[in-house]
Amino acid sequence: MDAVSKTSPATAKLSVGEQSWDLPVLSGTIGPDVIDIGKLYGQTGMFTYDPGFTSTASCESQITYIDGDAGVLLYRGYPIEQLAENGDFLETCYLLLYGELPTAAQKADFDYRVTRHTMVHEQMSRFFHGFRRDAHPMAVMVASVGALSAFYHDSTDISDPQQRMIASIRMIAKMPTLAAMAYKYNIGQPFVYPQNDLDYASNFLRMCFSVPCEEYKANPILSRAIDRIFILHADHEQNASTSTVRLAGSSGANPFACVAAGIACLWGPAHGGANEAALKMLGEIGSVDRIPEFIKRAKDKNDPFRLMGFGHRVYKNYDPRAKIMQRTCHEVLGELGIKDDPLLDIAVELERIALQDEYFIERKLYPNIDFYSGITLRALGFPTSMFTVLFALARAVGWIGQWKEMIEDPGQRIGRPRQLYTGAAQRDYVPIARRK
């Protein structure tokens, strides 16, 4: 990707004591301008300090745009609401990877290519059998996705565009198979091979919920719901796991290893693990009348408890994905005839109270996508331990798309942040006999 940002006529002025420097300002298509500090150290001998990267753009990207204040999420310029309403997940994958929506012929070809790669090397099943049955499926995913690089040697040469594309297709195609295998292994049922005449979501549901001794027919409403969940999670610009994938990839590591690193990062409860944590929290709250007690705890600075599924680093307005997820949640519960889900009652009431509470209003803490996705996935039949796995499955396309974009950027360099050192200054070694 050639840089397309424009140098703005404006410059930023940095003054330290008597000295001052002009720094270039760059403009993208939309969104805030950025101050280019790439030469700052050479010019000033100083670094910038930004723990958590709250004010730092780490790369130039053309894939996803978020306006957190306005609650906007665009994939390649298209609003998430329109993609989730009208498209399917593989169309979104094509869009994220190639930059444009596919024509009918391109879509058919892409679906065919993904479908042809759904099986995993038979030896992979032996690999699974090395795990304890009660291993967390995310642990199994980190290992098995990393292990793909041990099985697909013909798509690990990152300098070959053809291999990069095959790796991308393989990643999208094999994630559902590996995720379903992680689930089946955990519950002690036989692995189910993919069935390529099914659509992506139905195939995944079948691999998870069918058994060899019975016919399985995926419910189209539930397949559509899971497909929409995948679309909503497909990419989210430079979040923690995507930045992890980019950082790992910046050293030239192969794409499967990089995505395994992304999965490890996603696992944390402040990121992808939040839907699992949100559902556990609803269970812990237990009944609507206990909500005030938990709201009080969330506000107490001396209590580490936070309302899981609330707040977002970027969305300081309603998460646009949460709105779609809330509707999908009701569609799934309606289709399955779940009228009285106590956890849903708690969720609705918790949201109502939190949205009226000064603490949450002041801090712009709104329910995020994870708040409703946990309830939906549970209704679909997934155990909580699988929630983050489904997130990883969907995000794989974002990770690989961002990785590809980075590798194809001629200006790409190894990622190497600096630090503000506050440890001991240089001192001499003391022999052990003389230490006090």
Q: Looking at 272, 374, 398, 401, which residue binds ligand CMC (CB under 6 A)? A: 272
Residue 153 annotated among the catalytic residues of the structure? no
Number of residues in contact with ligand CMC under rule CB under 6 A: 20
**In the complex, least distance from residue 236 CB atom to ligand CMC, rounded to whole angstroms:** 6
> Which of the residues 167 through 226 are near ligand CMC (CB under 6 A)?
none
Q: Given candidates 298, 379, 380, 386, which one binds ligand CMC under the rule CB under 6 A? A: 298
Torsion angles phi and psi, residue 52, rounded to 5: 80, 0
Residue 270 touches ligand CMC, criterion: CB under 6 A = yes
296 counts as binding ligand CMC under rule CB under 6 A: no
Closest CB to ligand CMC: residue number: 311
Q: How far is the CB of 116 from ligand CMC (least distance, A)?
A: 31
SS3 367: strand
| CA proximity to 89, closest of 185, 205, 8, 180 | 205
Give the C-alpha separation, 190 to 193, whole Å: 10
Of 25-33, 70-78, 265-273, 380-388: span binding ligand CMC (CB under 6 A)? 265-273
Q: Which residues pair with 20 in a beta bridge?
A: 15
- Amino acid letter at 361? I
- What are the E-state strand segments in 115-225? none
Burial class (CB in 10 A: 0-12, 13-18, 19+), 298: buried
Active site residue 197: no
Q: How far is the CB of 365 from ligand CMC (least distance, A)?
A: 5
What the block records as the tokens of 121 is 């090397």
3-state secondary structure of 92: helix
Write down the least CB distance from residue 382 to ligand CMC, Å: 17
Strand partners, 15: 20
Q: C-alpha 262: how far from its chain's center?
A: 8
At its nearest, how many Å lie between ligand CMC and the CB of residue 259?
Answer: 16
Q: How far is the CB of 146 from ligand CMC (least distance, A)?
A: 21
Output the six-digit token pair for 422.
């506050």
Helix axis angle, 369-380 relative to 320-335, nearest 10°? 20
Among 248, 257, 365, 406, binds ligand CMC (CB under 6 A): 365
**Shortest Å, Cβ 44 to ligand CMC:** 28
**Which residue number, 124 or 347, has a Cβ lying nearer to ligand CMC?**
347
Q: Please tell me the distance from the alpha carbon of residue 384 to that of residue 378, in angstroms, as a whole number.
A: 7
Minimum distance of ligand CMC from residue 37's CB (angstroms): 22
Residues numbered 303 to 362 that lie near ligand CMC (CB under 6 A) are 306-313
CB closer to ligand CMC out of 180 and 365: 365
The pattern of x and - marking residues 223 through 262 that bind ligand CMC according to CB under 6 A reads: -------------x--x-----------------------
Q: Does 75 bind ligand CMC (CB under 6 A)?
A: no
In angstroms, the CA 351 to CA 303 distance is 20
Options 357, 370, 409, 428, the catalytic residue: 370
Task: Report the alpha-carbon distance of residue 357 to residue 346 in Å, rounded.
Answer: 16
Distance (Å, whole) CA 29 – CA 65: 10
- Over its C-alpha atoms, the chain yields an Rg (Å, rounded) of 23
- The candidate with the shortest Cα–Cα distance to 344, out of 314, 391, 309, is 309
Site string for ligand CMC, 366-405 (x = CB under 6 A): --xxx-----------------------------------
Give, as one character, the DSSP assignment of residue 190: P
Does residue 70 bind ligand CMC (CB under 6 A)? no
DSSP 214: S
Q: Which is the catalytic residue, given 199, 312, 340, 345? A: 312
Rounded Cα–Cα distance for residues 418 and 410 (Å)? 23
- By beta-carbon proximity to ligand CMC, the closer residue of 343 and 369 is 369
Residues forming the active site: 312, 370
Chain residues in the site for ligand CMC (CB under 6 A): 236, 239, 270-272, 274, 298, 306-313, 363, 365, 368-370
